[in-house]
């Protein structure tokens, strides 16, 4: 089963999905801020069973940046487009670390705009690594998507 780091600021939305993932045997660690996610990504040994690491990093594309002062200017309102592409910025800063861990990066969003398509395409990841939250709103569909990513 997989170790999943999920960066998303929406605490209530995650609960049924985390329950479904954990029921399927996955370990899920939530990060509600970018700073928390960066800390977890850098120190998997502090959150996960010994001799394991992250298999999947789920990233919400839109994250508020008001609590990220500890990270300096890397997540400024200008760079993250006032939080509209915080997940993209997070991935760019952490892409090498994610690759070193052998983890898969996947994105969830509520955004629907042409600019998003361009941002996603620029990351160079397969289209199946991106889902609109409403497309996987049913926890069964969500788990099926996760299992496809992990296979």
Report whether 20 contacts 55 (CB < 8 A). Answer: no
pLDDT at 108: 94
Give the pair of three-digit tokens for residue 58: 């789920």
Q: Taking Cα atoms as reference points, which of 58, 57, 90 lies closest to residue 74?
A: 90
Report whether 64 contacts 90 (CB < 8 A). Answer: no
The rounded percent of the chain whose pLDDT value lies above 90 is: 66
Q: How many CA atoms lie within 13 A of 105 on its CB side?
A: 25
Give the three-class secondary structure for 89.
helix
State the pTM of this model: 0.92
45 or 65, which is more confident? 45
Tell the CATH superfamily of the 3-150 domain.
Answer: Response regulator (3.40.50.2300)
52-107 pLDDT tens trace? 999 999 999 998 876 556 566 788 888 888 888 999 999 999 999 999 999 999 99
């Amino acid at each position: 089963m997989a170790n999943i780091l999920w960066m998303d600021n929406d605490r209530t939305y995650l609960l049924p999905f985390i329950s479904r993932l954990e029921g399927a045997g996955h370990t899920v660690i939530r990060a509600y801020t970018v700073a928390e996610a960066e800390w977890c990504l850098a120190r998997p040994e502090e959150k996960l069973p010994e001799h394991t690491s992250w298999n999947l990093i789920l990233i919400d594309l839109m994250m508020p940046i008001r609590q990220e002062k500890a990270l300096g200017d890397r997540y400024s309102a200008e760079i993250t487009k006032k939080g509209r592409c915080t997940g993209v910025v997070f991935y760019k800063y952490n892409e090498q670390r994610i690759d070193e861990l052998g983890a898969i990066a996947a994105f969830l969003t509520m955004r629907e705009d042409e600019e998003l398509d361009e941002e996603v395409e620029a990351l160079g990841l397969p289209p199946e690594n991106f889902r609109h939250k409403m497309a996987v709103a049913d926890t069964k569909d969500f788990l099926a998507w996760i299992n496809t990513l992990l296979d």
